[in-house]
Every structure is written in structure tokens, then in C-alpha cells.
Amino acid sequence: MKRFAYFFWRSLHSSPIVKWISGVLVASTLFALSPIRDIRLGYLHADSLGGFIAQADLALVLLPKLGNSDRHSAKNLFVLPLRHSNPFVVQQYIELIQEFPSTSVLGTSNDLVQKAVRLAALGLEHVAIRHPRLRRNYCGSPTWEGLDANGIEEDGRPRLVIETDVRAQGWDRLSSLGIDREKPLICFGNRDFTYWNSQARQSGLSEGGDSTQDFRNTSITNYLPGIARLIDAGYTVVRMGAGATASTALTDLGVIDYANSSIQSDVLDVLLFADCDAAIFGGAFGLAQLALAFHKPICVTDYRPFIFTEWSTPHCQITPSLLRNMETDETLNLEKMLQHPYNEQVLYELKGIEFVPNTASDIESSVVEFIEGLEGRGLPYNESDLQREFWGIVAEKRMNYAWYHRPSGRAVKRYNLFDPLDYGWTRRHSRVSESFLNSHARELFN
């Protein structure tokens, strides 16, 4: 019965038809109430750390732009899921949001009223993101990609604060792992199956049964040569990602396995990213948003697909995965790759497409290139011919392959909403690994 109830409730939350119907009903109801009081709803996906930070930052930027009607003030109500991926981070953002006048965050009760409000907010988000004319009563992030993916130059970061005594106590605990603070510190994480297995267990499901994004997982084996380069260059490398699959190969290289240590905590996760020199990630990883929140340089290999915020920030070097047609074994060129910016496993399977993981050589070369940029021995944002060709194709094709329609100027003006560039794609900000472009120019640009 518990399993049936879970799937029934999940289907209500995830069904596009249910979301569409509930979203239109909620938008219509709130519009009807507007002569009495403007009420706006917003949903923040706090169960996903990366999405939460990106969306909450954008919502905070847009809140002052929403304004009030001529007749009365508006009430903004933000809704959170029950499960929070990092309560330390979520609580700080709740406090920031509640500093705005007439703005509240719904509590974490699971009674029927709050369940109904969550469903209403999710439905309103679903239609508001796709149809700007229905955003009048929506106060959340107008895109799922959040702040960075819309190219906003926002100077409010870092929003997260670590008090002096908390920092001192935190580093006292971290010292037990043997972290040498005299050496430059790199946070490393590679996405694997452990996150979704833990989500499944919390929901009472069998392991591996709750992931639509397995294509984002990576193999630690391909990262060993690159990590060895970091260690040889004098960096302290700390493994991030709570409960990440333990790897003796990593610890044998000298990596500090904080992720599987007894002291791992939400606060220490934030502290490590706040005080590290840079971060390296295998795959599009939610933890990357913690690094970006503190303006840390990041290197993302096995970057897939082309929709996440990392490719929109000047603090990032990306090494994309190629795409391959499983029937013909053809490697897709960049223009064709851009036609498949999906974020669900099943969509790639339906198209008969699979990702080609970065090779160990690709990753090692990208890491070396990243180190040289950090140490000033390289040009982190150089304008090579290959860089210009890569981003030229992206700029030319992005409007055709955008996830969301750009709202017309009339719609934006009518409802006094901010239009952060064109949704889903942005102008070039990040940098592609030059070594990867050189090695795969034939596949990318044929």
C-alpha cells in the first residue's frame, strides 16, 4: 500500500497533463482573486542542491522586479519539498527570501493542505515556464536552469555565510583527515549511481529504480590519470559527494576520501567549497553549484547534456561528451548534438543515441590544461580558431534548439516580469577544453 501511495502521489507531481491542468486552474484562480489581493506562488526544488541554488539565486534577483499592483501589495509564497538536500544551505536561502516584504516560505508540514499547495505550485511552475502570459502570479525562477544559464551578471554571491566560529570548528574537524592547508586544495567529485540509490531508499523503493538521469553517471577509472597529475603537481585533492562509491584506487593516489568519512556533513560540504582553490567534477554534478556560488574555478569533464549552468559561467572549463547513433555507430557532429539537449534517460533511448564517455586521455589533458590556467601558465579564456568555431555554431543554432520560447517583449512588459535573455541557451561564457577540441575537431565540425 505504501508503495502504491508513493507512485500515485508521484504520478500527480510528475504527469505533464496533471501539471498542466492544475497549473491552468491555479493561474485562473489567482487571477480571479487579484482584485482583492495579488498572491504569487513559487516552487524551489530544494531536494536537488544544484537546482535549488541556481533557481533560488534567480528568484532572489527577480523578486524586486516583480513589484506590486497599483491597488495593493502582493503576497509572495514560496513552496519547498519535504526533503532538503542540504538543510544548512536551504535555511540560509529561506532567511534571505523572507527578508523581502510580504514574502513567506511554506513550512515543512506534510498535511493535506500543504500537499495541495505544493501540487498547485508545481503546476503553476509547469505552465508559467512554458507560457509567459501565465506568469502573472508566479514568483519562482522562470526557467529550470536558474541564474547562470540565463547569463545574468549577478553580484550578490556568495550568499552563503559561514560564521567565524563555525569555520574554526569545521577546520578543526577536517584536520583529522590530514588536509594540509598550506597546499592548494581541489574539491573533486564524480557523479555515480549512489545518489539515486539513496533517493530510492528514502522513498521505500528498490535501489536503482528512481533515476531518469543515469546517462550523467561517470566511471572513476577514467579519472585516475588526471587525479594523479593533480597530486603530482602538489595539490591536496578531497573527494566530495556524500556516500560516493569508495575507491581504493583514489586513496592509493593520495586522495582524501572526505565523502565517505565519519565527519561528512552539510556544513563541512559548504566550508570545503568556500575555502578550496578550485573544483573538478566528473559529469554535470549538483555539487558544482556550491563551487559556483563561491566563484570558484571549476573543470567539468564528461559534460552532458548541453543544458546545465556550468557552460554559462566564466568560471568553468568544460569537456563535453560526444553523442553516438547506436544503430549506425555514427558520432554526431556539434550541430546535431545540439538537437538533443535532453535531461531524461528515456529520451536518448527513444532517439537511439548514447553518450561517448571522455577517455582517460581526454580527462587527463583537460585537467592539465585547467591546472596551467589556474597557475597562470595558460590562457583560460583564449580565443583560438577552434573555440570561435565551437561557440559560433552554438550561437547560430541555439535559438532553433532552445527548450523554451522567448517571451515577447509585449508579454514581459504587460506583466512587469524580467526577461533574462533567451531561456534555455545563453551567450558564450565558459571555455571548452582546447586539448579536447584539437583531439576531436573532425567529429565535432565535419
Per residue in 281-318, pLDDT tens? 998 888 899 999 999 999 999 998 776 777 778 888 99
Extract long-range pairs of 87-91: CB within 8 Å, 24+ residues apart. Answer: 87/266, 88/266, 88/267, 88/270, 89/49, 89/52, 89/53, 89/160, 89/266, 89/270, 89/290, 90/46, 90/52
pLDDT single digits (tens) 362-373: 999 999 999 998
Average of pLDDT values for 231-257? Answer: 92
Higher pLDDT, 131 or 387: 387
Q: Taking each helix axis from N to C terminus, what angle separates 224-232 and 360-374, rounded to the nearest 10 degrees?
A: 30
Q: How buried is 101 (Cβ within 10 angstroms: 0-12 exposed, 13-18 middle, 19+ buried)? A: exposed
Q: Taking each helix axis from N to C terminus, what angle separates 87-97 and 49-66, rounded to the nearest 10 degrees?
A: 0
Judge whether residue 409 has pLDDT over 50.
no
* Rounded CA separation 345/304 (Å): 11
**Can you give the pLDDT at residue 144?**
73
State the cell numbers at 435: 586539448
pLDDT single digits (tens) 90-113: 999 999 999 998 899 987 677 788
What number of residues does the chain have?
446
Alpha-carbon distance values, 362 to 5, 306, 389 (Å): 46, 18, 20
Name 173's Cβ contacts closer than 8 Å, sequence gap at least 6: 263, 268
- What are the extents of the domains in the chain? 11-142, 165-405+436-445
CB contact at 8 A, 42 and 77: yes
Three-state SS for 133? Answer: helix
Three-state SS for 301? Answer: strand
How far separated are the first and last CA of the chain, in Å rounded?
55
Q: How buried is 3 (Cβ within 10 angstroms: 0-12 exposed, 13-18 middle, 19+ buried)? A: exposed
Higher pLDDT, 6 or 281: 281
CATH class of 165-405+436-445: alpha beta
Three-state SS for 162? Answer: coil
Q: Which residues pair with 282 in a beta bridge?
A: 190, 301
* Rounded CA separation 91/25 (Å): 31
Is the pTM here over 0.95, yes or no? no
Average of pLDDT values for 125-154? Answer: 77
pLDDT single digits (tens) 25-82: 888 888 888 888 888 999 998 888 988 998 899 889 888 877 665 556 789 999 998 8
* Rounded CA separation 421/412 (Å): 12
